[in-house]
């Protein structure tokens, strides 16, 4: 088995485009990366292949390994998923004092490996689900065949693309009000977005925060009338129409304000906030499956009702790759459990058919 700490670190830094390795989170991610095996180039066959890590993938791995399916996990380039970009996680059961996102994913990894999951660093470059045995190409040069495939590639939040947004990500900037809103209790925050998700998260934040500025780029919402009505009737939400975020201001450690500009009058102002939430949508990481699996208009994979199974036998989907509603670590973990159990039952039925 090829395993190189130096090689792993170089690849990880290149692929994730880390510019500042001094932050606590980045160092956590590097330590996490150094413990993952690299792919070999020899082709191989496995009973259960898990594509992607994170709460869904690791939970699937734990259940699949305990069922003696000897799962192989290909981590993807963002090992541990979106939680490796967060600081404190306080809404996942089992951590009464909260936990850092990277530490939580490290615990998940250790538990999956404890039961025999083969975890390897790499990315899936293409798939072929045309036959009874599924083919997956990793790093564009290695083919793995599998009796079952569990997809847990997750979804990535859409960002505005501001350098300051990246700088303060996890230190006042968040893409999940439900996850992080509690940390801004009785403080002023801003949220950018105009759809149903933004409206829902704004009203959620309004229950916790002193003041919520809602930044809307156009002169109207994209949200449903019911959600707009709820926002406009919440006393501590101030909607800023025709407004765009110019820069997120901070003291080098945390967010202290947000500079916005009215795109009609060109007037600028600084909003006195300590939190900045981005609610402009998510992109499911599912592009490589578009020729094989059914997905909705935004790219979320479609599974059978009350199941993680797809229309292709032996292929299952869990986590945010198929969940555009809840998008929580605990719900992702739940569907990871379901996917592994369904994969086990699928293989058992084939064995005794």
pLDDT of residue 3 exceeding 70: no
Structure tokens at 301: 């994979």
In a shared domain, residues 148 and 293: yes
Mean pLDDT, rounded, for 70-92: 88
In a shared domain, residues 148 and 288: yes
User: Where a domain ends, among 233, 251, 278?
Assistant: 278
In a shared domain, residues 54 and 185: no
Please identify which of the residues 48, 118, 147, 180 carries the catalytic annotation.
180
In a shared domain, residues 242 and 187: yes
pLDDT attached to residue 84: 83
The whole-chain average pLDDT of the chain stands at 89
In a shared domain, residues 79 and 200: no
Mean pLDDT, rounded, for 24-30: 50
In a shared domain, residues 138 and 176: no
User: Where a domain ends, among 278, 308, 341?
Assistant: 278
Active site residue 337: no
Please identify which of the residues 176, 209, 318, 323 carries the catalytic annotation.
176
Structure tokens at 321: 């790759």
What CATH number did the domain enclosing 322 receive?
Answer: 3.50.50.60
Active site residue 179: yes
User: Where a domain ends, among 278, 297, 315?
Assistant: 278
In a shared domain, residues 303 and 215: no
In a shared domain, residues 146 and 9: yes
Q: Specify the number of domains making up the chain.
A: 2
Of the listed ranges 27-31, 234-238, 252-256, the least confidently predicted one is 27-31
Task: Write out the H or E segment, with its range, that includes residue 58.
Answer: helix 54-66
Q: Which residue has the higher pLDDT, 125 or 89?
A: 125
DSSP string for 249-264: EESSSSEEEEEEEETT
Reported in sequence order, the residue ranges of 32-100 that DSSP labels E, i.e. its strands, are 37-38, 44-51, 72-74, 88-89, 99-100
Of the listed ranges 3-12, 15-24, 34-43, 271-280, the least confidently predicted one is 3-12
Active site residue 176: yes
Cβ(209)–Cβ(184) below 8 Å? yes
pLDDT of residue 18 exceeding 70: no
Look up the domain containing 248 and give its range.
Answer: 163-278
Q: Kindly list the distances between the CA atom of residue 207 and the CA atoms of 90, 185, 211, 282, in Å, as whole numbers in the listed order.
A: 18, 9, 9, 24
Mean pLDDT, rounded, for 13-19: 37
DSSP string for 144-200: EEEEEEEE---EEE-----HHHHHTBTTTEES-HHHHGGGGTTSEEEEE--SHHHHH
Q: Distance between CA 152 and CA 84 in Å, rounded?
A: 15
Confidence (pTM) = 0.77
Please identify which of the residues 48, 118, 147, 179 carries the catalytic annotation.
179
In a shared domain, residues 205 and 138: no
């Amino acid at each position: 088995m090829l395993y190189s700490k130096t090689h792993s670190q170089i690849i990880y830094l290149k692929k994730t485009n880390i510019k500042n390795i001094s932050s606590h989170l980045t160092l956590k991610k590097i330590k996490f990366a150094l413990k993952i095996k690299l792919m070999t180039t020899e082709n191989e066959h496995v009973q259960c292949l898990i594509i992607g890590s994170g709460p869904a993938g690791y939970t699937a791995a734990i259940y699949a390994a305990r069922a003696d399916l000897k799962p192989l996990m290909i981590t993807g380039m963002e090992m541990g998923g979106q939680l490796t970009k967060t600081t404190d996680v306080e809404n996942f059961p089992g951590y009464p004092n909260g936990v850092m996102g990277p530490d939580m994913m490290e615990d998940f990894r250790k538990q999956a490996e404890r039961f025999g999951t083969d975890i390897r660093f790499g990315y899936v470059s293409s798939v072929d689900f045309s036959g009874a045995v599924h083919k997956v190409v990793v790093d564009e040069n290695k083919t793995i065949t599998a009796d079952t495939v569990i997809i847990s590639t997750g979804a990535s939040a859409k960002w505005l693309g501001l350098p300051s947004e990246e700088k303060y990500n996890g230190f006042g900037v968040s893409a999940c009000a439900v996850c992080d809103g509690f940390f801004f209790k009785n403080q002023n925050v801003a949220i950018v977005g105009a759809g149903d998700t933004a409206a829902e998260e704004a009203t959620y934040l309004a229950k916790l925060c002193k003041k919520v500025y809602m930044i809307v780029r156009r002169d109207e919402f994209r949200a449903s009338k019911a959600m707009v009505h709820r926002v406009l009737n919440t006393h501590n939400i101030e909607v800023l129409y025709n407004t765009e975020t110019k820069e997120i201001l901070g003291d080098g450690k945390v967010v202290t304000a947000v500079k916005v500009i009215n795109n009609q009058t060109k007037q600028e102002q600084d909003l006195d906030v300590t939190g900045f939430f981005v609610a402009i949508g998510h992109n499911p990481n599912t592009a490589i499956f578009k020729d094989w699996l059914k997905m909705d208009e935004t790219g979320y994979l479609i599974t059978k009702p009350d199941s993680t199974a797809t229309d292709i036998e032996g292929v299952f989907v869990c986590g945010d790759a198929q969940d555009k509603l809840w998008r929580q670590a605990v719900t992702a973990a739940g569907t990871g459990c379901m996917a592994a159990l369904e994969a086990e039952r699928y293989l058992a039925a084939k064995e005794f058919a």
